[in-house]
A and B are shown apart, each in its own frame.
Chain A
Amino acid sequence: MSRIQTRFAALKKEGRGALIPYLQACDPDYDTSLELLRAMPAAGADLIEIGVPFSDPSADGPTIQAAALRGLKAGATLGRVLEMVRAFRESDSETPIVLMGYLNPIDSYGPAEFCFDAAQAGVDGIIVVDMPTEEADLLDAHAREAGLDIISLVAPTTSNSRLFHVLRDASGFVYYVSITGITGTNSASAEDLEQALPRIREATDLPVAVGFGISTPEQARTASRIGDAAVVASALIKTMASTLENDQATDRTVPAVLKQLEGLAAAVRA
């Protein structure tokens, strides 16, 4: 079983959903983001999503755009992100790591090389925002060979028939983009999720993570119960950004994010 399967199976036994926090690699610098990454499991992260900075994150709202720019300024590259995952794996061999980003840096690295190197580094899954099913053949075979899950995204606009098409060869888990919009803006209501999830479960047996617009402990709890996991991104980055001085980390940076993460985790576990 992959780390992702093992983790979701274990949580199912516990009878709760997963909390998936997000951090942008090298935001605001490599050391701080690695410190945060290492501390996240103890603060309640069940899986972790690492954003790969890209110059033109066209599906992201202002919070993650700013984080990506800080990361790039701090020297983030795909290679550096993999280095960060390798460093994390020295002390944690269980928490699944999923990279989320845009296609061009991967394309530039070389799809086959990237899948191989990512798996070697200890990455479990990848989410490529601008690679719909129709274009996924670019990575599919390489990812499968390397043992990486390509996490499929589905959205409120994905029709029932299209759900079957998109999720036919899906692996790992399914990422439900719960609003039509960009990250960190609106939120889906519990009613929205109650309606959407059965539709998705018709098309797949994989766990469903709910993301986009989840910011409060209450929302995280709701999403992790109706779905199988809640992804919290912009809300954590907002907290991090509020502790920065001139875009540099301060003593408050890591503790502030971890404290918020603990609050979210408590709600998900309650």
Chain B
Amino acid sequence: MTNTSSPLSNSLRSGPDDRGRFGIFGGRFVAETLMPLLLELDEAYRAVQADPEFRRELDYYLKDYVGRPSPLWFAQHLTEELGGAKVYFKREELNHTGSHKLNNVMGQILVARRMGKTRIVAETGAGQHGVATATVCALFGLKCTIYMGATDVERQKPNVFRMHLLGAEVKPVTAGAGTLKDAMNEAMRDWVANVADTYFLVGTVAGPHPYPEMVRDFQSVIGMEVKEQITQAEGRLPDVIVAAIGGGSNAMGIFHPFLDDASVRLIGVEAAGHGLDSGKTAASISRGRPGVLHGNRTYLLQDKHGQIEEAHSISAGLDYPGIGPEHSWLNDIGRAEYVGVTDEEALEAFQVCTRTEGIIPALECAHGLAHVMKIAPIMANDQIIVLNVSGRGDKDIFTVAHHLGVKL
């Protein structure tokens, strides 16, 4: 709930405030045309939060359609290979459509239906959010338009085809570098031009308030399940939670229920691309500074004049010059740490995961795994790491093959 004076105000989980801010981050930086829609959405979201019927409806779909809860898997072979902390995988890649994205999409589509919207627009990077959105639109018979950067359309062909099969219109965006940032701009342009019937289904914990809060709430099911599952398996909370970050929805989903558990280290892994200091990176917190883009104040990759820079990552899902505002805040107050992993390290982790656990991870979470591979060996055997395996890697096999010099 957005109430700064709530009895929980000592909690790190009580944000955002009434202006949609986490510290100095967040807010509602949109054109006036969209402002009334955000206020309307905020009102609709407060109404569903107070409605037990909405919760029942969402739980039904999460269980029987998404396939929740997702398992918490003890990655024994990987643990043995790394020779340190015990590594657990939160298996979000087992959700319907193959990633954590459906948790949020399922929640928002039920909100959109209650608001009487008949058309959905969304942005997508790797295509995971686009596929999830196209899926629920098929399920509920809603018109669906997905904006995807032309570069991403090229490197994520299987997901583009999936969206087509699901009945969505996929619009390639050629502006800029043709990646997620440009798709986001174009989705916002569509929304502003079609405000009457269209719902903008944002895929990550970014954008104007109330999106960062709402997406976080819908993704928090990940962390809540982990809390229960790890307590059952180990009788205690983990020492470290690791998740990869583009916009940051899978990370926020697994972090948020643990924010007040000070003993749990939270580590967000940004895509360092060719290296944090290479100039070709997507590490917004490590190499950016606060600014305003896409409706919120947050860490951004930008030049000294405030022009937004292109991000770079091998992973289309992390290829974004910003990050959710709550992550920016968690960084500044020191509650979560943010580190970088390069394309090369992620490719290596991708292969290790596949070989040791028989799980092909999305390149996004391979970044998280690469960091786990750095810290697990220097941790004690009785310590516990949970990695959010947020998506499966079938979509990435072409990219990986290309980088390994294999022709498919």
- A contact set with B: CB distance below 8 Å: 54-59, 61, 65, 72, 77-79, 102-109, 129-135, 152-159, 162, 166, 177, 180-182, 185-186
User: Is there a chain A Cβ closer than 8 Å to B30's Cβ?
Assistant: yes
Judge whether A157 and B292 touch: CB under 8 Å: no
Expressed in whole angstroms, the Cα–Cα distance for A177 and B195 within the complex equals 14
Partner of A180, one of B27, B184, B192: B192
Partner of B32, one of A56, A72, A155: A155
Closest B residue to A166 using CB positions: B32
Expressed in whole angstroms, the Cα–Cα distance for A181 and B28 within the complex equals 18
Judge whether B31 and A61 touch: CB under 8 Å: no
Expressed in whole angstroms, the Cα–Cα distance for A133 and B181 within the complex equals 25
Expressed in whole angstroms, the Cα–Cα distance for A180 and B192 within the complex equals 6
* Most chain A CB atoms below 10 A, which of B193, B292, B293: B292
The interface residues of chain B lying within 8 Å CB-to-CB of A106 are 306
Q: Among residues 18 to 35 in chain B, which have CB atoms less than 8 Å away from a CB atom of chain A? A: 19, 27-35
The interface residues of chain A lying within 8 Å CB-to-CB of B195 are 157, 180
Judge whether A157 and B37 touch: CB under 8 Å: yes
> Can you identify 14 A-B contacts, CB atoms within 8 angstroms?
A78-B306, A79-B305, A104-B292, A105-B305, A106-B306, A107-B291, A107-B306, A108-B291, A108-B305, A130-B29, A159-B36, A162-B36, A180-B33, A180-B196
The interface residues of chain A lying within 8 Å CB-to-CB of B280 are none
10 A-B pairs besides A56-B293, A59-B192, A181-B192 with CB distance below 8 A are: A58-B188, A79-B305, A103-B29, A104-B292, A107-B306, A132-B28, A154-B32, A157-B33, A177-B32, A182-B193
User: Is there a chain A Cβ closer than 8 Å to B307's Cβ?
Assistant: yes
User: Is there a chain A Cβ closer than 8 Å to B185's Cβ?
Assistant: yes
Could you tell me the distance in whole angstroms from the C-beta of A8 to the nearest C-beta in chain B?
Answer: 21
Judge whether B306 and A182 touch: CB under 8 Å: no
The interface residues of chain A lying within 8 Å CB-to-CB of B184 are 58
Judge whether B307 and A55 touch: CB under 8 Å: yes
Judge whether B189 and A58 touch: CB under 8 Å: yes
5 nearest A-B residue pairs (beta carbon): A108-B306, A181-B193, A105-B306, A155-B33, A104-B306
Closest B residue to A103 using CB positions: B292
Could you tell me the distance in whole angstroms from the C-beta of A169 to the nearest C-beta in chain B?
Answer: 15
- The verdict on A153 contacting B193 (CB below 8 Å), with A107-B291, A108-B291 known, is no
Judge whether B185 and A153 touch: CB under 8 Å: no
* Most chain A CB atoms below 10 A, which of B176, B184, B188, B189: B189
- The verdict on A109 contacting B33 (CB below 8 Å), with A58-B189, A59-B189 known, is no
Judge whether A185 and B193 touch: CB under 8 Å: yes
Judge whether B305 and A157 touch: CB under 8 Å: no
Judge whether B305 and A134 touch: CB under 8 Å: no
> 1/0 per residue B22-65: CB within 8 Å of A?
00000111111111110000000000000000000000000000
The interface residues of chain B lying within 8 Å CB-to-CB of A162 are 35-36
Judge whether A56 and B302 touch: CB under 8 Å: no
User: Is there a chain A Cβ closer than 8 Å to B175's Cβ?
Assistant: yes
Closest A residue to B39 using CB positions: A162
- The verdict on A182 contacting B189 (CB below 8 Å), with A104-B293, A105-B306 known, is yes
Expressed in whole angstroms, the Cα–Cα distance for A232 and B184 within the complex equals 27
Expressed in whole angstroms, the Cα–Cα distance for A24 and B188 within the complex equals 22
The interface residues of chain B lying within 8 Å CB-to-CB of A186 are 193
Could you tell me the distance in whole angstroms from the C-beta of A69 to the nearest C-beta in chain B?
Answer: 9
Expressed in whole angstroms, the Cα–Cα distance for A46 and B308 within the complex equals 33
User: Is there a chain A Cβ closer than 8 Å to B407's Cβ?
Assistant: no
Closest A residue to B187 using CB positions: A58
Expressed in whole angstroms, the Cα–Cα distance for A55 and B295 within the complex equals 15
Closest A residue to B190 using CB positions: A182
* Most chain A CB atoms below 10 A, which of B196, B291, B306: B306
Closest B residue to A68 using CB positions: B307
User: Is there a chain A Cβ closer than 8 Å to B294's Cβ?
Assistant: yes
Expressed in whole angstroms, the Cα–Cα distance for A109 and B294 within the complex equals 19
Q: Among residues 140 to 177 in chain B, which have CB atoms less than 8 Å away from a CB atom of chain A? A: 175-176
Partner of B295, one of A72, A130, A133, A180: A130
Could you tell me the distance in whole angstroms from the C-beta of B209 to the nearest C-beta in chain A?
Answer: 9
Judge whether A130 and B31 touch: CB under 8 Å: yes
Expressed in whole angstroms, the Cα–Cα distance for A102 and B300 within the complex equals 15
The interface residues of chain B lying within 8 Å CB-to-CB of A56 are 176, 181, 185, 293-294, 308
- The verdict on A105 contacting B307 (CB below 8 Å), with A134-B19, A135-B29 known, is yes
The interface residues of chain A lying within 8 Å CB-to-CB of B30 are 130, 132
> 1/0 per residue B293-315: CB within 8 Å of A?
11100001010111111000000
Judge whether A58 and B294 touch: CB under 8 Å: yes
* Most chain B CB atoms below 10 A, which of A58, A157, A166, A182: A58
Judge whether A130 and B192 touch: CB under 8 Å: no
Expressed in whole angstroms, the Cα–Cα distance for A193 and B29 within the complex equals 27
Judge whether B291 and A104 touch: CB under 8 Å: yes
Could you tell me the distance in whole angstroms from the C-beta of A146 to the nearest C-beta in chain B?
Answer: 19
The interface residues of chain A lying within 8 Å CB-to-CB of B293 are 56, 104
Could you tell me the distance in whole angstroms from the C-beta of A114 to the nearest C-beta in chain B?
Answer: 10
- The verdict on A182 contacting B36 (CB below 8 Å), with A78-B305, A107-B292, A108-B305 known, is no
Judge whether B308 and A55 touch: CB under 8 Å: yes
Closest B residue to A179 using CB positions: B193
Expressed in whole angstroms, the Cα–Cα distance for A130 and B291 within the complex equals 12
Partner of B31, one of A79, A166, A177: A177
Could you tell me the distance in whole angstroms from the C-beta of B137 to the nearest C-beta in chain A?
Answer: 22
Could you tell me the distance in whole angstroms from the C-beta of A101 to the nearest C-beta in chain B?
Answer: 10
Expressed in whole angstroms, the Cα–Cα distance for A108 and B302 within the complex equals 9
> 1/0 per residue B178-207: CB within 8 Å of A?
000100110011001111100000000000
The interface residues of chain B lying within 8 Å CB-to-CB of A54 are 307
Closest B residue to A106 using CB positions: B306
Partner of B308, one of A77, A104, A130, A134: A104
Judge whether A59 and B31 touch: CB under 8 Å: yes
Could you tell me the distance in whole angstroms from the C-beta of A78 to the nearest C-beta in chain B?
Answer: 7
Closest A residue to B29 using CB positions: A130
Could you tell me the distance in whole angstroms from the C-beta of A187 to the nearest C-beta in chain B?
Answer: 13
The interface residues of chain A lying within 8 Å CB-to-CB of B37 are 157
The interface residues of chain B lying within 8 Å CB-to-CB of A177 are 31-33
The interface residues of chain A lying within 8 Å CB-to-CB of B304 are 108
Closest B residue to A101 using CB positions: B306
Expressed in whole angstroms, the Cα–Cα distance for A92 and B175 within the complex equals 37
